[in-house]
Amino acid sequence: MNILVSIIVPCYNQAHFLSVSLQSVLDQTYTNWECIIVNDGSPDNTEEVASKWCDKDNRFRYIEKQNGGLSSARNKGVSMSRGAYILPLDSDDVIDKSFLSKLVPVLQKDDSLAIVSCYSKFFKGDIENIVYKLKPKGSTIKNLLFENSLIATSLFRKKCWEQVGGYDEEMKNGFEDWEFWIAITKLGWEYKIVKDYLFYYRKSEASMLINTLENHRISNLEYVLNKHKELYKENYDNTIKYLFFLINMYRDTDLKTKKSNVYKLAKLIGKPIKLLKKLNKK
pLDDT tens, the chain, 282 aa long: 699 999 999 999 999 999 999 999 999 999 999 999 999 999 999 999 999 999 999 999 999 999 999 999 999 999 999 999 999 999 999 999 999 999 999 999 999 999 999 999 999 999 999 999 999 999 999 999 998 989 999 999 999 999 999 999 999 998 999 999 999 999 999 999 999 999 999 987 655 555 555 667 788 989 999 999 999 999 999 989 888 888 787 776 655 555 555 444 445 444 544 444 454 454
Residues 95 and 21 in one domain: yes
Provide the residue type at 270 as one letter: G
Q: Which of 234, 249, 270 is the last residue of a domain?
A: 234
**One-letter identity of residue 57:** D
Pairing of strands 5-11, 85-88: parallel
Shared-domain flag, residues 96 and 112: yes
Long-range pairs for 56-61 at CB < 8 Å and ≥24 separation? 56/26, 57/26, 59/33, 59/34, 59/35, 60/22, 60/25, 60/34, 60/35, 61/34, 61/35, 61/36, 61/37
How big is the chain, counted in residues? 282
- Looking at residue 205, its pLDDT comes to 61
The pTM score is: 0.86
DSSP conformation class of 203 = P
Residues 250-256: contacts with CB within 8 Å, 24+ apart?
Answer: none
170 and 78 co-located in one domain: yes
> Range of 257's domain?
238-281
Q: Is 253 exposed, middle or buried (0-12, 13-18, 19+ CB in 10 A)?
A: exposed
Q: Considering its fold, how many domains does the chain have in total?
A: 2
Looking at the structure, tell me whether residues 19 and 82 fall in a common domain: yes
Residues 271 and 158 in one domain: no
Whether 92 and 50 map to the same domain: the answer is yes
Instruction: Please indicate, yes or no, whether residues 227 and 244 belong to a single structural domain of this protein.
Output: no
How many CB atoms sit inside 10 A of residue 61's CB?
A: 18
Q: Are residues 78 and 115 in the same domain?
A: yes
CB 150 within 8 A of CB 144: yes
| Nearest CA among 103, 108, 134 for reference residue 121 | 134
Same domain, 214 and 145: yes
- 225 shares its domain with 270: no
Residues 149, 211, single domain; the answer is: yes
Cα 188 to chain center, whole Å?
22
Q: What's the confidence (pLDDT) of residue 206?
A: 53
- Environment class of 139 (CB within 10 Å of its CB; exposed 0-12, middle 13-18, buried 19+): middle
The verdict on 39 and 145 lying in the same domain is yes
